[in-house]
Amino acid sequence: MPGRVVVVGGGVVGACSAYYLAKAGWHVTVVDRAKFGAACSHANCGYVCPSHVLPLAVPGAITSTLKTLFHRNSPLKVRPGVVLRNLSWFLGFARRCNQRDMLATGRSIQALLNSSRALYDQLLQDEHISCEWETKGLLFVFQTPKHFEHYAHTDELLSHEFAMPAKRFDSSELAALEPALKPGMAGGYLYQSDAHLRPDKLMSELRRVLVGLGVEIRENCTVSGFVKSGNTATALRTNTGDIVADQVVIATGAWAPLLNAELGCRIPIQPGKGYSLTMPRPAVCPTYPLIFEEHRVAVTPFASGYRLGSTMEFAGYDDSMNRSRLSILTDAAKHYLRDPLAEPVQEEWWGWRPMTFDGLPVIDRSPVMSNVLIAAGHNMLGLSMATATGKLVSEMLGAGKTHIDPAPYGLSRFG
């Protein structure tokens, strides 16, 4: 029979894990070192995107990255000291930049993405969750013909290998589809299966649902280790006292490696800092969520606002706001949109994405504690994968049949 489970981490993966565990009959406590629904789950771009099946490690990624790395306005910034201190991670990434690994990883990413997309529909309906959910798709916009035509190869790959085709729009068709774009864009690709929502509203609603299911939420509660009996964790040590548990789920995102010694493994996660700006909807607001692939910047029009986001900064656990990264977002938007910004800016935000070198999360048991399950490392797709991960966590703790094969997300892949 289900017993007491503590979920460490109050982000979207932890919240969804708590939801499916509570629905399965577990007595659930969620603890977070800060606030529930904060960190990377708060102000991301809100995409639930089955189209994002390809990892960052693709053929040619190293070359293309090196070409832009030292540009002042490059969307990717890597501090040399971070590379030197974490050389094995970056070498692991480089070794994955080949066709075979890309396709294998993509199929494992897709399993979680497709499941999550369907589970979101069910969750939002069953729990009457209001989070500005829209299913218009996701529109990739290209400024230059060279990049537009080059993307045709990616579209063909996604269609052939993953049954994920996009609808192609040439310049005039794109202008008619999305009037908020400046004239003269080269073209675009619309992924009609994708959806988006407002993350902070989702997290607020999930909190309401969890409390209604009897889940206890403890904030400002930092886990420092475990009380053990043999190969079992009997309680968590926290700054507010020990918390007794029959099972533990570690869903701490980019913070997971800080528990490596206690967990008995090395979780290869690097914090990749992303940024966003939230403001009111501009007078000429996009209808579709947009990705400007050439500039690696995303735009999300919510019913209640408007967000620019993305960039990637490998700076370790540096918790400062790099304002030059915010300028990358606004500068890119000005290239593409008739009315790119609105006043006032309501929030300037950054969050640490939990990046694994192979692009897959870790969903597996600790090798030294049989009742501790790790669910972390969802890269840039935590929101998109959260519902499927939560359901999978519940199934694995219940020792029943899982709706997704968990093997690709195991720790054994790291040797």
Q: Residue 106 and residue 39: Cα distance in Å, rounded?
A: 26
Smallest CA-to-CA distance from 39 within 252, 258, 304, 327 is with: 252
Q: What is the pLDDT of residues 114-127, one digit of tens each?
A: 999 999 999 999 99
Is residue 195 within 8 A of residue 185, CB to CB? The reply is no
Note whether 35 and 221 are within 8 A (CB): no
Kindly report whether the global pTM for this prediction surpasses the value 0.85.
yes
Site of tokens 């499927």: 388
What residues form DSSP beta bridges with 225? 237
Give bridge partners of residue 227 from the DSSP assignment.
Answer: 235
Max Cα distance, the chain (Å): 67
Nearest 5°: phi and psi at 341?
-135, 160
Range of the domain at 105: 4-414
**Structural domain count of the chain:** 1
Q: Whole-angstrom Cα distance, residue 210 to residue 190? A: 35
Mean pLDDT of 166-175: 98
For 141-163, what is each residue's pLDDT tens digit? 999 999 999 999 999 999 999 99
The residue behind tokens 């090395």 is 266
Please report, for the domain that includes residue 339, its CATH number.
3.50.50.60
Of residues 411 and 400, the one with the higher pLDDT is 411
- pLDDT digit string (tens) for 257-274? 999 999 999 999 999 999
What band does 79 get if pLDDT is binned at 50, 70 and 90?
confident
CA separation for the pair 268, 265 (Å, rounded): 9
Separation CA 200–CA 43 (nearest Å): 7
Strands of 178-304, DSSP E: 187-191, 195-196, 216-218, 223-229, 232-238, 243-244, 247-250, 269-279, 290-292, 297-302
Identity of residue 330: T
Is pLDDT of 325 > 70?
A: yes
Q: Are 226 and 369 in contact (CB under 8 A)?
A: yes
Q: Which amino acid is at 16?
A: C
Q: What is the pLDDT of residue 82?
A: 87
How does strand 187-191 pair with strand 138-142? antiparallel
Mean pLDDT of 387-392: 98
Q: Is the pLDDT of residue 66 over 90?
A: no
Percent of the chain with pLDDT over 90: 91
pLDDT of residue 271: 96
